[in-house]
Chain A
Amino acid sequence: MSVQFSPEKLDKINELISHYPEGKHKSALIGVLHIAEEEFGWLSVNTMDYVASLLKLQPIEVYEVASFYSMFNLKPVGKYVFEVCQTGPCMLKGSDQIIDYIKQKLNIGVGETTEDGMFTLKTVECLGACGYAPMMQMGKFYKEHLTPERVDQIIEECRNNSARNN
């Protein structure tokens, strides 16, 4: 299976490369991996090899970087990923209970995806929203001041959105 970025994405990548001095195009790697994840959902070996060829890098350099940073998914994930913060300040405000609630509500464990491929639950470390705890990241945005009711509402919204888009 071959992978290919759309022309718009390729333009974006070329713009990224232009931000760095001549010959320092490796700096664009993390940005390109973000774009790849946006486009393909997760980073397969094929995708990473493709990125390596675009930036003229050894494939291993891409694997090394992709596996270092916690935001990159090296395995497929659900359509909506709940990344619930569990570090100190969120724990003080009850993140443990929120995680338990989501587990029970979606009937999955941490790191698992629901059978319909809709939701993945992950626990993450501090996301920098300690004053708005407990919180989680969902895609681009943060969902803050979580309560069981708020979680229900978010799950409902996701299901509705997904139904509308299909």
Chain B
Amino acid sequence: MSKKLLLDKINVPGIKTFEVYRREGGYQSVEKALKMQTGDIVEEVKKSGLRGRGGAGFPTGLKWSFLAKPEGVARYLVCNADESEPGTFKDRYLMEFIPHLLIEGMITSSFALGSNVSYIYIRGEYDWVADILQAALDEAKQNGFLGKNILGSGFDCEVYLYRGAGAYICGEETALLESLEGKRGLPRIKPPFPAVKGVWGCPTVVNNVETICAVVPIINEGGDAYAKIGVGKSTGTKLISACGNINKPGVYEIDMTISVEEFIYSDEYCGGIANGKRLKACIPGGSSVPILPANLLLKTAKGEPRLMNYESLADGGFITGSSMGSGGFIVLDEDQCVVRHTYTISRFYHHESCGQCSPCREGTGWLEKIFKKIETGKGEMKDIDLLWDVQRRIEGNTICPFGDAAAWPVAAAIRHFRDEFEWHVLNPEECLVRNFGLAHYADALEAVTS
């Protein structure tokens, strides 16, 4: 049983309300932090080894220490709750069921960063979640944890909700800031980074919901205690949102020492593949990261068991490994078609491309069209190479990481499942009604490690 830091009280009845949350020990981190020096709080977060939980995994303490502090200029903390990565629904779970945890983290972090006005940018579709958060914010304010002179410390802080309106790209931090300024969500060209020039030209820190929530146990129990959980540079606990063809889809909090195999098959987590099917493939970190066939998922190319942490999931680079990403764990069983699945993902990226820079604007649409051609049985062999070439020239050539995110799933699908693409081309009629099946993907490792 993994230690739980964020979800330990999720099942307490009424935890959504301030009263119950406070009774269960909530808002202690605020009381503790307000008595500390802001530099010491940043130091604790650094010591904890906490890495950004939004997908990039950048060390949070380091990000905080980059925040410029020019005299007389306001600083801002913005919480990125624009959770839109296919396969990821952990932030919604936190906000919906234990909203005060995020608010507590926001107040503590705002104090550490010297932000007197902070924003939670929540995706527009989470309309009812926004209502829950707003109710919680109102409660916190009534109880003196928000507003002027919080708990007599002299620190003023307001946290406002900002609802987006449907754009995946606003999960990219500079696009989010543009959107927060009431503009189209077009990513900015960096540098300058938000830590120097963020929202309205002021220094800004943008953090994911789960990252900000994790600040609460770090302050309560100390950075060192947090760093002891987990392994290597994967400290603390991580929320994994598991979905696809498994028995128990849902959000799980893990310490990052368990193996992928245990996560999929144990009853404590996913509970195995649904309907007694076999595992075909899995995308371990949200739709942008490479898909892995079963054999490479459970064991690394070196034959070691793969663990659910940043280093182990990335073992082998993108050739035989993948990435932790945002923790969106999508499992495909033997009945699923990888071509069709990747097609829907390409369609997603085409739909969500902001259209600012040319490789992404034109390339994502092209990818989707070629996928559709292959999936509907009209593909030719040259289309597979064309797919590869189109994604290759998008990757790394765009303004923001969206281009990479659109290219990687395509590259990985072709890299690991090329025979499935070829089968689609060779069996144009059959591929409309049947899928390629398991082939060798569940076999011994040697088969595809070349």
Q: Is B306 an interface residue (CB 8 A)?
A: no
Question: Which residue on chain A has the smallest CB distance to residue B169?
Answer: A68
B74 near A21: Cβ-Cβ < 8 Å? yes
Is B394 engaged at the interface, CB distance under 8 Å to the other chain? no
Chain B residues whose C-beta falls within 8 Å of the C-beta of A151 in the assembled complex: none
Q: Is B410 an interface residue (CB 8 A)?
A: no
21 pairs from A and B in contact (CB 8 Å cutoff): A19-B158, A26-B183, A27-B181, A28-B182, A30-B164, A30-B182, A34-B124, A68-B185, A70-B166, A71-B124, A87-B86, A92-B245, A93-B245, A125-B351, A125-B352, A126-B85, A126-B87, A127-B125, A129-B89, A130-B241, A132-B249
Is A133 part of the binding interface, using a Cβ–Cβ cutoff of 8 Å? yes
Is A92 in contact with B352, judged by CB distance below 8 angstroms? no
Instruction: Find the A residue at minimum CB distance from B85.
Output: A126
Q: Quick one: CB contact mask for A130-166 with B, threshold 8 Å, 1 for yes?
A: 1111000100111000000000000000000000000
Q: Name the one of A21, A31, A64, A129 contacting B162, with C-beta atoms under 8 angstroms.
A: A31
Interface membership of B332, Cβ < 8 A: yes
Contact of B125 among A27, A71, A91 (CB under 8 A): A71
B160 touches A131 (CB 8 A): no
Question: A125: which B residues are within 8 A, CB to CB?
Answer: 86, 168, 347-348, 351-352
In the complex, identify which listed stretch (B100-108, B213-221, B256-264, B337-345) lies at the interface while the others stay far away.
B337-345
- Assess whether A105 is interfacial by the CB under 8 Å rule: no
A141 in contact with B345 (CB, 8 Å): no
Contacts of A78 in B (CB 8 A): none
| Contact (Cβ within 8 A) B128 A88 | no
Partner of B328, one of A30, A34, A130, A137: A130
Q: Count of A residues near B, CB < 8 Å?
A: 38
B274 to chain A, nearest CB (A): 9
| Chain A: CB-nearest residue to B350 | A125
> Which residues of B (89-128) have their CB < 8 Å from a CB of A?
89, 92, 117, 119, 123-128
Task: Give the docked Cα–Cα distance between A19 and B74 (Å).
Answer: 14
Interface residues of B in 227-275 (CB under 8 A from A): 241-245, 249-251
Name the residue among B184, B242, B243, B330 with the largest chain A CB count within 10 angstroms. Answer: B243
CB distance from B169 to the nearest CB of A (A): 9
Q: Which of A93, A125, A133 has the most CB of B within 10 A?
A: A125
Q: A30-B162, A130-B328, A141-B128 are in contact. List 9 more A-B contacts (CB 8 A).
A: A19-B160, A69-B167, A70-B351, A71-B166, A88-B86, A88-B341, A130-B86, A130-B89, A132-B89
Query: Is B163's beta carbon under 8 Å from chain A?
Result: yes
Indicate if A101 sits at the interface (CB-CB under 8 A). no
Q: Is B336 an interface position by the 8 A CB rule? A: yes
Please tell me if the beta carbons of B287 and A69 are within 8 angstroms of each other in the complex.
Answer: no
Count of B interface residues, CB-CB < 8 Å: 57
Instruction: Say whether, besides A31-B163, A87-B344, A130-B88, A92 and B332 are in contact (CB < 8 Å).
Output: yes
Q: Smallest Cβ distance from B443 to chain A, in angstroms?
A: 22
B295 at the interface (CB under 8 A from A): no
B241 lies within 8 A of A131 (CB): yes
Per-residue B-contact encoding for A107-138, CB less than 8 Å = 1, 0 else? 00000000000000000011111111100010
Q: Are B165 and A88 in contact (CB under 8 A)?
A: no
Closest to B167 in A: A69
CA distance A33 to B183 in the complex (A): 12
Whether a CB of chain B sits under 8 angstroms from the CB of A47 is no
A24 within 8 A of B: yes
Contacts of B328 in A (CB 8 A): 130
Interface residue? B208 (CB, 8 A)? no
With the chains together, A88 CA to B86 CA distance in Å? 7
Q: How far is the CA of A70 from the CA of B83 in the complex (A)?
A: 15
Please tell me which one of the listed residues A27, A33, A68, A71 contacts residue B180 in the complex, with CB atoms under 8 A apart. Answer: A27
Q: Is A106 an interface position by the 8 A CB rule?
A: no
In angstroms, how far is the closest chain B Cβ from the Cβ of A80? 15
* Closest-CB distance, A158 to chain B (whole angstroms): 18
B126:A128 contact, CB within 8 angstroms: yes
Q: Is B200's beta carbon under 8 Å from chain A?
A: yes
Residue among A19, A30, A71, A133 with max Cβ neighbours from chain B (10 Å): A30
Chain B residues, Cβ within 8 Å of A89: 86-87, 243-244, 330
A29 close to chain B: CB less than 8 A: yes
Judge whether A65 is part of the interface by a CB distance below 8 angstroms: yes
